[in-house]
Structure 1
Amino acid sequence: MLQEFGYSQYESQVYETLLAGTEPMDATSIVSHSQVPKAKVYEVLNRMIDKGLIMNTVSEKKKLYHAIPLESVIKKLTYEFEQNVEELKKKKIERSFSDDRVWSLKAHSTIFAQTEEMIHHAKTTIFMSSWSENLIPYLPLLEEKEASGIEVEILSIGAIETSLKHVHILVPIDEHDRLEKSHLIVIDEEDAVFAGIENDQWKAIKTMSQPFVKFFTDFFYHDVALARITERFHDQLVDDEVTKKLLTRLRY
């Protein structure tokens, strides 16, 4: 029960045992019902007292233990979580070195939370390319950053509605058989994340290495150029089978 919140397996077992009991229990009874080793039980009980999960008393020369009600523990955990979040928000860690490594990221939620954080910290430019459903949640923040004077340019795979000044739209056609979902953001031309889907799972790389960042910036404008060409000369391109086949095999 409590392991999900950073407590040990023994702590969780002892708490569940005490919570399930109708009366306070001594150490011997706790060992019997919780499967926590006798050699460890007092150490575990003392830690739990210090953490405010259980109460103790002495009755007839016997030390007894009782669980704090679950509702109170939930409030305690919620309060501690909120306090930790507030402390985390206050921390400011200044970058003191140039990180030219390439980092791997996994999980959709992690990748897109990282994207939001990067947008928040942008100082000069934001270049972003993604599918419309992944771009839409960021539009209010991107519009806010543009209003503050930051250059924002985006390429959306699929139609979107926004007040942003520099928006390029690629509306896929049926023949785009190699068009795969991807996500690219370059901040201040010094920090980039590129993500794609592999085996139905989002995976990404994040880097500040300048050769990679320059490559991804060029990659962004490569896709912008292709989107604009496809939009402007759509009829001529799709009427020419050779050109059409070539364009629809490109990975935007």
Structure 2
Amino acid sequence: MLMQFGFTQYESQVYHALITTDQPLDATAIVRRSGVPRSKVYEVLHRMGEKGVILESTMEKKRLYTALSLDSMIEKLETDFEKNVQKLKDTKIKETPMDDRVWTLKEDKSIQALVKRLVKRAERSVSISGWADDIVILLPLLEDKYKAGLNVTIHVIGELKTIIPTVSTLIPDIQHANLERSRILIVDESEMIFAGIENSEWQAIRTHSRPLVKFFTEFFYHDVALTEITRKYKDTIMQDKDIRDILLKLRY
């Protein structure tokens, strides 16, 4: 219950045991309900008391415990989170100068956060490719960049409503069996991110390497060209089995 908020497994088990009963418990009852070893329970209870997530009382020489209410716990977690975020914001940072090395990054939310940060930093141009439900998250920022005079080009899979005129839209159908979820971002023609799914997990590369930036820029416009050719000549293409089979094997 609480492990995702930085609590240990034993602390989470003890809190769950206390919050799911309507009466205070002593250590013996907590051991029985939580599964925490007796040798560890007092240490765990002490830490939780220091963290302010359980209440303690002594009655007839017996130490009793109850949980901080769920509403109060949620408020505490939110307050602690906001305080920690502010500390993080106040940290004096020194960014590592970027070079031609290729950097890898995992985890979808981290990749999305990096993509958003690089779009914010863009000064001249943004080229971005991805699925509509990904790009729509960035759309207000992309439209602000367009309004500021930047050259913004979007290749999107799925419907996307935007004021940006340079949008190439592919509406997938059942014949696009090889379409894979991915993202390409090229900023100021000098930095790029490519992200895709491998073994069900998002992974990305980021680099300033000029050959790679050039390669992925061409790759981006390869996708745009394929989309426009397919859209304009779809009926003709789909009637020619050889051409259709080749095109549908290509990545958009």
TM interval, short-chain normalised: 0.7 to 0.9
Q: Which moved more, 1:59-68 or 1:181-190?
A: 59-68
Conserved? CA contact 1:207–1:213, under 8 Å? no
* Corresponding residue of 1:42: 42
The 2-side partners of 1:164 and 1:179 are apart by 24
147-156 or 110-119, larger mean C-alpha shift: 110-119
Instruction: Please name the residue that 1:80 is paired with.
Output: 80
TM-score normalised per structure 1: 0.75
Could you say if the C-alpha distance between residues 31 and 222 of structure 1 is closer, same or farther in structure 2, counting changes exceeding 3 Å?
A: closer
In the other structure, the counterpart of 1:187 is 187
- Structure 1 pair 128–92 and aligned structure 2 pair: CA distance change class (3 A): farther
| Cα distance in 2 for residues equivalent to 1:46 and 1:188 | 54
Query: Partner residue of 1:105?
Result: 106
Cα distance between partner residues in 2 of 1:173 and 1:10: 49
Q: Distance in 2 between matches of 1:198 and 1:40?
A: 40
Indicate if the aligned counterparts of 2:111 and 2:204 stay in contact, CA closer than 8 A.
Answer: no
Larger Rg: 1
Q: What percent of counterpart residues are identical?
A: 42
**Distance in 1, Cα, partners of 2:154 & 2:188:** 14
Q: Which residue of 2 aligns with 1:10?
A: 10
Describe the SS at the equivalent of 2:212. helix
Distance 2:157 2:9 in 1: 47
Alignment match, 1:206 = 205
Question: Within 2, Cα distance between the matches of 1:145 and 1:183?
Answer: 19
8 Å Cα contact 1:11/1:44 also seen in 2: yes
TM superposition score normalised by structure 2: 0.75
**Range with bigger deviation, 124-133 or 233-242:** 233-242
Task: Report how many residues are paired.
Answer: 249
Q: Distance in 2 between matches of 1:18 and 1:137?
A: 40
Deviation, structure 1 residue 194: 2.2
Amino acid at match of 2:96: S
In structure 2, C-alpha distance between the alignment counterparts of 1:131 and 1:214, rounded to whole Å: 22
Query: Which letter maps to 1:208?
Result: T
Q: Distance in 1 between matches of 2:158 and 2:25?
A: 63
Residues 22 and 251 of structure 1: CA distance in aligned 2, closer, same or farther (over 3 Å): closer
Q: Which residue of 2 aligns with 1:52?
A: 52
For the residues of structure 1 that align with 2:129 and 2:173, how far apart are their CA atoms?
Answer: 18
SS in 2 for 1:123: coil
- TM superposition shift of 1:144: 0.7
Does 2:166 correspond to 1:166?
A: yes
Q: Is the aligned partner of 1:155 residue 2:184? A: no
Note the residue ranges of structure 1 that are not aligned, 5 or more in a row. none
